[in-house]
Amino acid sequence: MSDPFGGGDTDPFGGGKSVPTRRPAARRPVANAAATPKAQVNAQAQAPVSDVEARLQALLSDETTQTFINTPLNEALETVSRTHDIPIVLDRRALEEVGLTPDVPVTLSLKNVSLRSFMRLMLRGLQLTYMIKDEVLQITTVEVAQRNLIVKMHIFPKSLISKTDQIVRALQSTVQPATWDISGGPSSVVPIENVMAISATADVHDDVAEFLIKLEAAYEKSKSQNK
């Protein structure tokens, strides 16, 4: 968007500043979501993952090294977007509802961690989170994310298929325990033969996937040691 006063391009990250026209533009800049309706919980059934969504998931697994010291959130997101060529949308309406502005400062310095972990740690202190929706990474509040739950099928490890009930109990006790419906949270899990149907936010699904990988690895290691 052009600055009508001739000062360059208007900042697309919601900071209200002008960006010099000679500054290289991010290939996939962070934009601002127009609105966040106060809708009821909308559990979205897992559709076939598009190529773009698969790419976003892969990018979140990429290694990153970032340092932000009292950096405005919108500037930090712009840096991440440009560095990893990942489209990010900042939900300004959701931030306003909890009294935050796009330029709220963030401080975090980490080396050689996954982009997924970095984003979660950077956003957690502000009670924010991310979700993949409409083929972009949307930055929003935890409350909004919990109104847009995603249903995914997680496969039980083959070696533990006879222990599904135990796995579900362990999952609800160790992976973000407060999020599950048995503790009054919005997330739910239903075992169906060799899979678990889970309705949860994106970060919970990430934790579930990691939990299952570690559980299977630990079980296989235990079996080999007992031989």
Q: What is the pLDDT of residue 165?
A: 92
3-class DSSP state of 120:
helix
In contact, 35 and 93? CB cutoff 8 Å: yes
Beta strands in the chain (DSSP E): 9-10, 18-19, 31-32, 44-45, 63-72, 88-90, 105-114, 128-133, 136-141, 150-155, 188-192, 195-200
Closest CA to 203 of 126, 145, 134, 160: 145
> What does pTM read for this prediction?
0.67
CA-based radius of gyration for the chain: 20
Q: What is the pLDDT of residue 221?
A: 86
3-class DSSP state of 104:
coil
Q: What is the pLDDT of residue 82?
A: 95
Distance in angstroms (rounded) separating the CA atoms of residues 80 and 71:
12
In contact, 163 and 191? CB cutoff 8 Å: no
Per-residue pLDDT of the chain (227 residues; tens, 9 = 90+): 433 333 334 344 555 443 333 333 344 444 444 444 433 334 444 444 578 778 888 898 899 999 999 999 999 999 999 999 999 999 999 999 999 999 999 999 999 999 999 999 999 989 999 988 888 999 999 999 998 898 999 999 888 888 999 999 999 999 999 999 999 999 999 999 889 999 999 889 989 999 999 999 998 888 777 76
Q: What is the largest CA-CA distance in the chain?
A: 76
| CATH 1.10.20 for domain 149-222 | no
Q: What is the pLDDT of residue 123?
A: 95
Q: What is the pLDDT of residue 15?
A: 52
Q: Write out the two tokens for 125.
A: 């202190």
Give the residue extent of every domain in the chain: 51-146, 149-222
- The DSSP annotation for 173-208 comes to HHSSGGGBGGGT-SBEEEEETTEEEEEE-HHHHHHH
Angle formed by the axes of helices 115-124 and 73-84, to 10°? 170
CATH number of 51-146: 3.55.50.30
Q: Write out the two tokens for 21.
A: 């026209």
Q: What is the pLDDT of residue 227?
A: 67
Q: What is the pLDDT of residue 117?
A: 92
